[in-house]
């Protein structure tokens, strides 16, 4: 089992907009790519982490499952539209994936 963690930083004054957009993504777009909302969660920076950072974590079986998800996302028009709508609210270049193994 693995945790795939995607994070991005919100622009000043737009953190709630990004959180709302990511919650909508988990409800509407993630399931189209095969992501199970019960195996996902959103986090935000509090102590020792940047407050502007919003993290979306997804538990996956392995890298093959994650790759299948990424492949499906590339085919979902709503994901592309969501990304374009999110762009003005985030700091460019801060998005990143981290993959962790669950021990």
Q: Which domain holds residue 59?
A: 2-101
Residue 87 corresponds to which tokens in the numbers above? 């762009």
What pTM, to 2 d.p., does this model score? 0.89
Residue 44 corresponds to which tokens in the numbers above? 């935000």
Q: What CATH number has the domain bearing residue 31?
A: 3.30.70.100
pLDDT tens for 1-39 read 999 999 999 999 999 999 999 999 999 999 999 998 899
pLDDT tens for 72-81 read 999 999 999 9
Could you give the CA distance from residue 17 to residue 21 in angstroms, rounded to a whole number? 6
Domain tally, the chain: 1
pLDDT tens for 52-72 read 999 999 999 999 999 999 999
Could you give the CA distance from residue 75 to residue 4 in angstroms, rounded to a whole number? 20
* pLDDT value at residue 101: 98
């Amino acid at each position: 089992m693995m945790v795939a963690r995607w994070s991005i930083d919100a622009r000043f004054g737009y953190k709630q907009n990004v959180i709302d957009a990511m919650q909508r993504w988990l409800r509407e777009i993630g399931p189209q790519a095969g992501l199970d909302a019960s195996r996902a969660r959103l986090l935000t920076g509090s102590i020792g982490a940047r407050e502007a950072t919003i993290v979306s974590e997804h538990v996956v079986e392995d890298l093959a499952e994650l790759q299948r998800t990424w492949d499906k996302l590339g085919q979902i028009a709503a994901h592309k539209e969501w990304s374009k709508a999110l762009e003005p609210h985030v700091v460019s270049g801060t998005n990143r994936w981290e993959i962790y193994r669950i021990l």
